[in-house]
Amino acid sequence: MKGRNEESTKALCKLRQLPEDHPFVQAELYGIREQLEREQEAILGVSRWGKIRELLTIPANRYRFMLGFMAQLLGQWSGASAITIYAAEFFGVLGKSGQSEKLFATCILGVVKLVSAYACAFFLVDFIGRRRSLYAGITLQTISVLYIAIFLAIVGTKTLEDGTLTSTQKHAGVGAIAMLYISGVGWTMGWNSFQYLVNAEIWPLRLRALGSSITMCLHFANQYGNTKAVPLMLLHMTSSGFFFFCAAVCILGLIWVWAFVPEMAGRSLESTDELFSLPWYKIGRYGNKLAPDNEAILARDEKAEMKREVEVSQLEQA
């Protein structure tokens, strides 16, 4: 777009871990330049309202918008942000008594989420894929908040406030506190990684600025709403009810991921457009098979070529 072809080539080679003359790199570079030229021609004279109309009227773009919106909605209401913001209060509910003790536990939670966020970003998300990472993170988060909800429902906040716990309940309380930390790890592995990556990967270039801006507005709107709603939820639903609500959102999130979220890792712009051009009910569950990314196509071709070479070798030996 700005004529920095050499820099873009080096960046793509570094990203794909392949040499510049590799067929996959050359094919992807050609596809990117071709799409840039097409999109620059397409947006000439198009106003901002024209882009909004394109975002809302074209089925592929509506599906992209749905992914961004639901990722922010389910991610923010799964409870992780509320647990971080009101961590001291939640540790108090689970039996931590002194103010310094609650603040120390809150600091540890922050460190756990920071370290796990970097670990997931650098070593997990690209290694196992967006979809699997999301599955694993939401499952971990669901188990954690569900354990806390059941613990609070059985023991009761009054018993925890009075400190009249049995030995078994004390051990279960330690487990509940540990589950707060585990829920933080699940959050960084799942929703936290996904909600930013999906915003960067789903939009075509001509709608990326607009689509990303709207999605991030939804992110902060849900975060603000959740922050303001949690005190009222704790008041009317009790602490156990709040955690049951978070568990229900996480389970709903798992169903949504299974039904609607495609794997986006390693996809080129062209294969992404091909993916979202499929019927909406096929994108999440069958998208990777019906619209494979370039790496999958290359791996399949290399495997077929190796198979042909083996067959030829066997025929020559015979």
Q: Residue 198 class from Cβ within 10 Å (0-12 exposed, 13-18 middle, 19+ buried)? A: buried
What's the whole-number mean pLDDT along residues 109-132?
A: 87
What's this model's pTM, rounded to 2 decimal places? 0.79
* pLDDT exceeds 90 at position 148: yes
Cα 201 to Cα 30: distance, rounded to the nearest angstrom: 19
From 38-47, 58-67, 127-136, the region with the lowest mean pLDDT: 38-47
pLDDT of residue 55: 86
Per the CB < 8 A criterion, the answer to whether 195 and 81 are in contact is no
- 298-317: per-residue pLDDT in tens? 555 555 555 565 555 655 56
- Model confidence pLDDT, tens digit, residues 198-208: 888 888 878 88
- Domain range 76-260, its CATH number among 1.20.1250.20, 1.25.40.10, 1.10.10.10, 3.40.50.2020: 1.20.1250.20
Residues 161-219: tens digit of each pLDDT: 777 778 888 888 889 999 999 999 999 999 998 888 888 888 887 888 889 999 999 99
**Whole-angstrom Cα distance, residue 149 to residue 153?**
6
One-letter amino acid at 15 equals: L
Q: Helix, strand, or coil here: 154?
A: helix
For the segment 248-271, what is each residue's pLDDT rounded down to a tens digit?
A: 999 999 999 999 999 887 777 778
For 101-113, the pLDDT digits (tens) are: 778 888 888 899 9
| Distance between CA atoms of residues 120 and 246, nearest Å | 22
Least Cα distance to 109 among 75, 82, 84, 139 occurs for 84
CB 261 within 8 A of CB 119: no
